[in-house]
């Protein structure tokens, strides 16, 4: 079948689509501007030529801190064309956190929203940004440009790099996605083209995309859900409709977007779908174009999923599961309608065709069906490892039966008639709005507050999702207000990590070995304190 050829490099997909559908619309930006496949490929070739002129090539990392736009997509493919890897950071996150990411993986070039040039330079202090910083205008004018930045206009003057000017290999690094780290610092997950292609090709078989499909792009590009949106759509000659970050958090605007753009394939974390069910006025929205609803990243509360499937009766629904390190590795098709009496969450399903899964107990012994244990995944989608974290690689990856396995840290149970059932975590990682949050990263940020002497963050599951509670002790009688604490966190953490509650204590409970007693805090939180 055309379009379902197995890929070795993500840039091959778009180049094959250009040959077949040069004049079809490839991407439509949040502002309505669009690019055909020919235009997208040409713009990507111009970006590649510019990067090559700056001696950027195989294995080099190129940072992207941009809002969603057609240019950002062209930049990604331009990076691929010269065999470099992109490192996307959240342009709405605090600049200090983004600077840490760029510095950690030593980006050689950076495409930066022009409004962020000054704040990022300030965050860098006396340290240097990469030699090549391209300031990309937010609104067409380049008023904020700094002299040492290359202007986007200058990049556009380059002659395009011919296709396949460089020898690509499947093991080229494609992108590094940063997720919250248990040491308190974000950690970079390195994914190769073959990692991504294994997943994209599975999507081709499973979801049968066609050129007439219109994919939504709800997830930001630093979130692994964007891999499906970007590459599955463009592989098949479909069109990709980018949703701006602020619109993406507004359930009514998202619902209108789906109707206006006649979206056929939707993929997101469950949280926005749940918000749409509750606040999106879906009963007055025409979503008849939607044929597939895919969700991943966290548990979808069944009451909201039932409402959605009752309102949108035509689409096929899938629950996809997988950490950034493996991309999607199990999937479950949801049978609709959902029975009224069902309250337990849906299973995460069976392994995708490219994956193997096993469940081990703490001592490394295989757990029999029905028993609980840690889920391990092997196969071509399993990432190359963490950027510059050999100790983390050693704890999360292992060789067994001549395969390389990733320990997801997720506790599951296998039931032959349902597949894998997600049970929970034994560590301090939680999920909110589909994002991974290491509670230690929140604590590290709080310890930066000069008045706080002790801090502890805990998560509490509530019907509408996870709440993050922080217990803090202050050095002085005069405590910072909750408003001050929230504002302080907003300067250091992405919005999804800002704690819901701050509870001041004289001192935090300690165990007999003088460690913070998280169990006591968890218990006290359940009692409503």
Partner 1 sequence: MNDIRTKIRQFILSELLLDESEENLQDDTPLRKGILDSLGTVQMVSFIESEWEIEVGAMEADDTNFGTINGLVPFIERKLQKQQKQ
Binding site for partner 1 (CB under 8 A): 249-253, 256, 271, 275, 278-279, 433, 481-483, 486-487, 489-490, 495-496, 498, 500-504
For the CB of residue 356, give the shortest distance to partner 1 in the complex, in Å: 37
**Whole-angstrom distance, CA of residue 463 vs CA of residue 291:** 28
CA distance linking residue 430 with residue 241, whole number of Å: 30
Class of residue 117 by CB neighbours under 10 A (exposed 0-12, middle 13-18, buried 19+): buried
Q: CA-CA distances (angstroms) from residue 137 to 43, 159, 171, 387, 450? A: 16, 21, 33, 30, 37
Total count of residues recorded for the chain? 529
Residues ≥6 apart with Cβ < 8 Å to 498: 468, 486, 489, 490
Q: Which is nearer to partner 1, 29 or 94 (CB)?
A: 94
The CB-of-218 to partner 1 minimum distance in angstroms stands at 13
CB of 480 to partner 1, least distance (A): 10
Which lies closer to partner 1 via its Cβ, residue 61 or residue 436? 436
Question: Closest CB to partner 1 among 19 and 462?
Answer: 462
SS3 26: strand
Q: Which of 35, 505, 466, 99 is nearest to 239 (CA)?
A: 35
- Whole-angstrom distance, CA of residue 125 vs CA of residue 100: 12
Q: Is the dihedral of CA 76, 77, 80, 82 positive or negative?
A: negative
Which helix (H) or strand (E) segment is 148 a member of? none
Q: Which is nearer to partner 1, 428 or 479 (CB)?
A: 479
Smallest distance, partner 1 to C-beta of residue 186, A: 19
Q: What is the maximum span of the chain, computed from C-alpha positions, in angstroms?
A: 71
Nearer to partner 1, 447 or 504 (CB): 504
CA angle 265, 337, 295 (to 5 degrees): 35
- Shortest Å distance, C-beta 213 to partner 1: 25
DSSP state of 366: B
Cβ 481 to partner 1 shortest distance, Å:
4
Cα(332)–Cα(318) distance, rounded to whole angstroms? Answer: 6
Angle ∠(170,190,133) on CA atoms, nearest 5: 100
Name the residue nearer to partner 1 (CB basis): 1 or 483. Answer: 483
When the beta carbons of 2 and 32 are compared against partner 1, the nearer one is: 32
Q: Are strands 173-179 and 187-192 parallel, antiparallel or unpaired?
A: antiparallel
Q: In the complex, what is the shortest distance from the CB of residue 169 to partner 1, in angstroms, rounded to a whole number?
A: 41
Query: Could you tell me the smallest distance in angstroms from the CB atom of residue 527 to partner 1?
Result: 15
Between residues 433 and 449, which has the closer beta carbon with respect to partner 1?
Answer: 433
Nearer to partner 1, 504 or 518 (CB): 504
Q: Shortest distance, CB of residue 242 to partner 1, whole angstroms?
A: 18
Per DSSP, what are the bridge partners of residue 432? 435
Chain position carrying tokens 């709405």: 92
**Phi and psi at residue 41, to the nearest 5°:** -65, -40
> In the complex with partner 1, which residue's Cβ is closer, 392 or 500?
500
Nearer to partner 1, 161 or 489 (CB): 489
Q: Which phi and psi (to 5°) does residue 103 adopt?
A: -70, -40
Please count the helices (runs of H) and the strands (runs of E) in the chain.
17, 27
Report, in Å, the least distance between residue 165 CB and partner 1. 43
Shortest Å distance, C-beta 521 to partner 1 = 15
Structure-token pair, residue 339 = 């029975």
Residue 43: both structure tokens together: 């713009």
């Amino acid at each position: 079948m055309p379009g379902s050829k197995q890929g070795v490099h993500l840039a091959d997909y778009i180049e094959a689509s250009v040959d077949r559908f040069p004049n079809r619309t490839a991407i439509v930006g949040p502002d309505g501007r669009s690019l055909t496949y020919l235009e997208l490929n040409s713009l990507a070739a111009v970006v590649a030529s510019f990067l090559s002129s700056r001696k950027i090539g195989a294995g080099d990392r190129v940072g992207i801190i941009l809002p969603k736009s057609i240019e950002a997509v062209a930049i990604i493919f331009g990076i691929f064309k010269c065999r470099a890897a992109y490192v996307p950071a959240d342009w709405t996150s605090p600049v200090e956190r983004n600077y840490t990411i760029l510095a950690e993986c030593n980006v050689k070039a950076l495409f930066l929203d022009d409004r962020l040039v000054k704040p990022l330079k300030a965050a860098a202090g006396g340290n240097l940004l990469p030699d090549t910083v391209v300031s990309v205008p937010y609104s067409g004018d380049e008023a904020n440009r700094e002299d040492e930045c290359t202007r986007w206009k200058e990049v556009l003057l380059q002659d395009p790099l011919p296709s396949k000017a460089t020898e690509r290999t499947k093991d080229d690094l494609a992108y590094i996605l940063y997720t919250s780290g248990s040491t308190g610092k974000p950690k970079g997950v390195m994914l190769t083209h073959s990692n991504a292609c294994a997943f994209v090709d599975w999507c081709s078989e499973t979801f049968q995309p066609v050129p007439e499909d219109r994919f939504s792009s709800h997830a930001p590009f630093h979130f692994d859900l964007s891999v499906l949106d970007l590459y599955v759509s463009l592989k098949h000659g479909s069109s990709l409709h980018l949703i701006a970050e602020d619109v993406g958090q507004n359930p009514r605007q998202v619902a209108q977007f789906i109707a206006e753009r006649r979206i056929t394939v939707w993929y997101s974390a469950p949280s926005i779908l749940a918000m749409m069910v509750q606040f999106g006025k879906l009963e007055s929205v025409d979503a008849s174009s939607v044929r597939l609803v895919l969700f991943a990243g966290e548990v979808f509360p069944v009451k909201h999923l039932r409402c959605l499937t009752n309102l949108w009766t035509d689409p096929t629904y899938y629950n996809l599961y997988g950490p950034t390190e493996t991309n999607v590795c199990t999937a479950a098709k949801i049978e609709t309608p959902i029975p009224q009496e069902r309250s337990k969450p849906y299973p995460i399903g069976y392994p995708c065709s490219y994956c193997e899964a096993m469940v081990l107990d703490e001592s490394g012994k295989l757990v029999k069906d029905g028993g609980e244990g840690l889920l391990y995944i092997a196969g071509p989608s399993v990432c190359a490892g963490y950027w510059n974290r050999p100790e983390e690689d050693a704890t999360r990856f292992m060789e067994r039966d001549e395969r390389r396995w990733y320990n997801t840290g997720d506790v599951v149970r296998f039931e032959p008639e349902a597949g894998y059932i997600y049970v929970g975590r034994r560590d301090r990682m939680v999920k909110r709005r589909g994002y991974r949050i290491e509670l230690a990263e929140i604590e590290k940020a709080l310890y930066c507050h000069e008045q706080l002497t002790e801090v502890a963050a805990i998560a509490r599951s509530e019907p509408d999702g996870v709440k993050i509670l922080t217990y803090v002790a202050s050095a002085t009688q005069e405590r910072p207000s909750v408003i001050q604490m929230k504002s302080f966190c907003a300067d250091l953490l992405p919005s999804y990590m800002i704690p819901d509650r701050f509870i001041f204590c004289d001192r935090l409970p300690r165990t007999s070995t003088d460690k913070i007693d998280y169990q006591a805090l968890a218990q006290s939180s359940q009692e409503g304190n």
